Structure 1
Amino acid sequence: MYSYEDRLRAVQLYIKLGKRIGLTIRQLGYPTKNALKTWYHEFEQRHELRSGYTRPAKFSQAQKERAVEHYLEHGKCIAATIKSLGYPCRSLLLAWLQELQPRTTRVVGRTQELAPEAKQSAVIALCTRPASAQAVADEVGVSRGSLYKGKNQLLGDDAPASMKRKQDAPASSDRADLVQQVETLRQDIRRLQLEKDLLKKANELLKKELGIDQQPLTNREKTLMVDALKSTYTVTELLYELNLPRSSYFYHRARLEVADKYADVRQAMANIFERNYRCYGYRRLHASLSDQCVKVSEKVVRRLMKQECLIAATSKRRRYGSYMGEISPAPDNVLNRDFSAGAPNEKWPTDITEFQIPAGKVYLSPMIDCFDGMVVSWSIGTRPNAELVNTMLDAAIDKVATSGERPLVHSDRGGHYRWPGWLARIADAKLVRSMSRKGCSPDNAACEGFFGRLKTEMFFARDWLSTNIDEFVVAVDAYIRWYNEARIKSSLGFLSPAQHRRRLGIAASMTAHWAMG
């Protein structure tokens, strides 16, 4: 039931908001749609709301009199009256009888009224009873309620408490049982508190969410927890709860006091990991450490990565398509998933990928060399149009214009690679076209793989909320240059594409273009 002020506030806000029911209800949190409409129609007709509301009577005076008359004329039976008329309920009929015929209702039960002397004796017996109050009532011949009513009438608020039988003191055996129960409860409380403290300490020290199971902890981690809580609990309690052997505890405690021989390695690993977009796994970290003349096994690198929480980024979803239908004849799939190349500039797969950041969308069009995965040329823009792919192709063609090399250019069936500008450039440079089958991304796996690595290592692992378009383009360009110059690959003997070419005596060059239209 809403007050007058609440209803008036709702109607005034409804009118102020242009009679928008949903917005009014969301702001106030009440009422229902139909209730607000009813209030408004009342306000519109009367220019005011009723301050109160009286529910109309459900039964008329004639119906009330008819029910009472039927009751009196048919044996004064409430059930028969309700069954015959179909109304009202039992309590309502009794109320009508009390209102219209107060002396006709029958009293059920004993109506014996005690004499003043008998009532006084009964009250004394109640207050001094050795047994229950019901036994006294049965002996006197009245109900238990009447007995207490007489007590209140005679003694009022000064009535003394009944002289009940005193409970016998518990036997010594019962007292011992109670003491034992109390001690058991104390132990249970201490054990539960210990479990709670262990869970909290595990989260504080080890940053682990363990639930109720402590078994995933290593003995070294359990030792750290014992040392942290031994000022509150005994070592024996902690060892038992953690299921840690005493010898293992003292062994790891002694090991903790020894200086960490991998302290420098940990720092070097962290620096390499942060410097390389937090994308290196244990293999590339191990290779990078070897380049710095740090000799440790791969197993040690894996263990230290786990301890230092150096977790490489993982891949997420991919979603962008440039297919526009068969707008021109498609060349054969000459590449046919053979991404191996014996020399640079033999096979060039290309594609377009999309980046969605809060500031907008950015598109990247690279040209990949199947020889070592180097990005030969790339263009970055905010629109996936012909300029994006054509400028990238022009930059790639410039690299082979004087060498006489004619690479195989492989793409998907997107419309960018069927437009006249693209076809004319391919024909003028005498390059060979190749296209994947329709909807078959594995046919262009070399370029798709580059996109996956780029987004996993650089895009998905970072928060771009406060980055604008220009800053993001610079970040993508910096990653690609790092990818060519510094990112080591196990397939190249843990060298980057540029390092690999320099070792082979091949000049490496790359060109970028930013199409910010």
Structure 2
Amino acid sequence: MTKKNKKYDRIFKENAVKLSYDKSSLKEFAKELGILPCLLTRWRQEYQEFGAGSFHGSGYDRVHPEKKRIFELEKKSKESELRFEILRDASPYLYQGNLIIYQFIKTNEKKYSILKMCSILDVGYGRYHRWRKEGISEKQQKIALLKKDITSIFYNFKKHYGKKKIAKELHSLGYKIVDRRVSFYMKQLGLYRIPKRKYKVTTDSNHGYYTAPNILNREFKVTTPSKVWVSDITHIQITGSFIYLTIIMDLYDRKIIGWSLSSRLSTQKTTLAAWEMAISNRTVANGLIFHSDRGVQYANKAFTKKLDSNKCIRSMSRKGNSLDNAVSESFFNSLKRELIHRKSKLISQKKMKEEIFEFIENWYNKKRIHSTLNYKTIEEFNAINNL
């Protein structure tokens, strides 16, 4: 039978070391204690290095009391570095649910301590091991896949889409899910749509030009193209100054058919420039209603002459009533929420023009789904209606 090694407690070891310095023969003293001389030598070496920090057993840090403060600071620093490293590696998966986190822990078991990962990622150690042993149910797999698709849609559409539009995208993928459930999972995943911000009015209606009555009268639902075009101007802050965006939208499909970006509010650079683009993109129908606010850029002779030559019917919002041109206002809200207000710093006019072009021509007019078009893109809507 193999003889078990005898265990000696900390007090015994410490007393043995202290007494050994008063003995003339280390070998004789070890024999007197009933231990091997090499064992006593090892104890003396440890005590010489760690002092009162010696002999605490396995699982405890050995450190000299005089160096304890430095040791603790170094230990905390290493723990912080490890925590940062784990969070950095896990960051793409943090809001995708526990099942995705479990998979991350499993993949990194050889790199990090399981207990440490569970603690840092706020995952129950026992729950993880149950998952590791038993796997997940079919229902949990479906929920995990749904959450993954919700997250993918949310980021693919640049954090613009709320529960309704994400639900519509999920329907196109074959899911049967209501808005309320999408909202529940978005909150679980920490996905929040970029909030709206207010912006200043740029309309200057203090002029002596004729202002047309509100012919449109908030009838924003249009059944044929080029029946009603609406227009508006907004300001955008850039590095060192402001620029002005003028848009013309066809209410039929909500497409921005004309737009202009300028550093001045002159008619030539705003409304006339946007008009020229609009008529190059879409034919002006007889009796087209052109609706805008009462700003001088729309009321002056140069622009009204252009409308009259194309036999358009002029319509203007009532004074101080932005809801009369709500569709244009809604577009600017989307533009500023989805593009402008996401910027952490101001950018140059050249860069802003590039980004607005990308937003209008490649995003808004092509890829963005619109609730007024029954959650279809403009291109899908026009394809169905053969425009």
TM range (shorter): 0.5 to 0.7
Q: Deviations over 1:325-348 (max 9, x none)?
A: 132121111111211211111111
The correspondence for 1:391, drawn from 267, 273, 278, is 273
Task: State the identity %.
Answer: 26
State the Cα distance separating 1:454 from its structure 2 match. 1.5
CA contact (8 A) 1:286 1:297 kept: yes
Query: Does structure 1 residue 290 correspond to structure 2 residue 171?
Result: yes
State the Cα distance separating 1:362 from its structure 2 match. 2.1
Q: Deviations over 1:225-269 (max 9, x none)?
A: xxxxxx89xxxxxxxxxxxxxxx9988985697445244443433
The correspondence for 2:359, drawn from 461, 472, 479, is 479
The correspondence for 2:159, drawn from 278, 283, 290, is 278
The correspondence for 1:457, drawn from 320, 331, 338, is 338
Could you say what secondary structure the match of 1:287 adopts?
Answer: helix
CA contact (8 A) 1:487 1:496 kept: yes
Q: How does 1:322-361 map to 2 (within 5 A)?
A: 322-361=203-242
Quick one: distance in 2 between partners of 1:418 and 1:297?
49
Root-mean-square deviation (CA, aligned residues, Å) is 3.5
Query: Does structure 1 residue 432 correspond to structure 2 residue 276?
Result: no
Could you say what secondary structure the match of 2:339 adopts?
Answer: helix
State the Cα distance separating 1:283 from its structure 2 match. 1.7
Quick one: distance in 2 between partners of 1:400 and 1:494?
23
Query: Does structure 1 residue 367 correspond to structure 2 residue 252?
Result: no
Quick one: distance in 2 between partners of 1:448 and 1:476?
16
CA contact (8 A) 1:367 1:378 kept: yes
Quick one: distance in 2 between partners of 1:490 and 1:331?
30
Quick one: distance in 2 between partners of 1:383 and 1:258?
64
Say if 1:449 and 1:295 are closer, same or farther in 2 by CA, change over 3 A: same
CA contact (8 A) 1:335 1:410 kept: yes
CA contact (8 A) 1:282 1:301 kept: yes
Say if 1:269 and 1:399 are closer, same or farther in 2 by CA, change over 3 A: same
Say if 1:435 and 1:253 are closer, same or farther in 2 by CA, change over 3 A: farther
State the Cα distance separating 1:505 from its structure 2 match. 0.6
State the Cα distance separating 1:286 from its structure 2 match. 2.0
CA contact (8 A) 1:397 1:429 kept: no
Say if 1:399 and 1:325 are closer, same or farther in 2 by CA, change over 3 A: same
Residue matched to 2:348: 468
Quick one: distance in 2 between partners of 1:490 and 1:337?
17
Quick one: distance in 2 between partners of 1:475 and 1:378?
14
Q: Deviations over 1:349-399 (max 9, x none)?
A: 111011113353221111112223221211112222212210111222344
Q: Deviations over 1:33-69 (max 9, x none)?
A: xxxxxxxxxxxxxxxxxxxxxxxxxxxxxxxxxxxxx
State the Cα distance separating 1:416 from its structure 2 match. 0.4
Quick one: distance in 2 between partners of 1:397 and 1:463?
36
Quick one: distance in 2 between partners of 1:359 and 1:267?
42
Quick one: distance in 1 between partners of 2:174 and 2:130?
27
Name the count of aligned residue pairs.
Answer: 272
Quick one: distance in 1 between partners of 2:345 and 2:226?
35
Say if 1:258 and 1:357 are closer, same or farther in 2 by CA, change over 3 A: farther
CA contact (8 A) 2:249 2:256 kept: yes
CA contact (8 A) 2:258 2:281 kept: no
Quick one: distance in 1 between partners of 2:355 and 2:275?
22
In structure 1, runs of 5+ residues without a counterpart are: 1-200, 206-219, 225-230, 233-247, 507-517
Could you say what secondary structure the match of 1:485 adopts?
Answer: coil
CA contact (8 A) 2:226 2:285 kept: no
Look up the equivalent residue of 1:329 and give its one-letter code. Answer: Y
Quick one: distance in 2 between partners of 1:438 and 1:253?
67
Could you say what secondary structure the match of 1:422 adopts?
Answer: helix
Could you say what secondary structure the match of 1:376 adopts?
Answer: strand
State the Cα distance separating 1:300 from its structure 2 match. 4.4
Quick one: distance in 2 between partners of 1:377 and 1:363?
14
Residue matched to 2:326: 445
Say if 1:255 and 1:441 are closer, same or farther in 2 by CA, change over 3 A: farther
Quick one: distance in 1 between partners of 2:160 and 2:285?
38
Query: Does structure 1 residue 414 correspond to structure 2 residue 295?
Result: yes
State the Cα distance separating 1:301 from its structure 2 match. 2.9
Q: How does 1:43-442 map to 2 (within 5 A)?
A: 254=130, 258-259=135-136, 261=141, 262-291=143-172, 293-298=173-178, 299-387=180-268, 388-399=270-281, 401=283, 404-442=285-323
Query: Does structure 1 residue 502 correspond to structure 2 residue 380?
Result: no
State the Cα distance separating 1:290 from its structure 2 match. 2.8
Quick one: distance in 1 between partners of 2:181 and 2:299?
52
Q: Taking structure 1 as the reference length, what is the TM-score of the superposition? A: 0.47
Quick one: distance in 2 between partners of 1:419 and 1:491?
32
Say if 1:503 and 1:315 are closer, same or farther in 2 by CA, change over 3 A: same
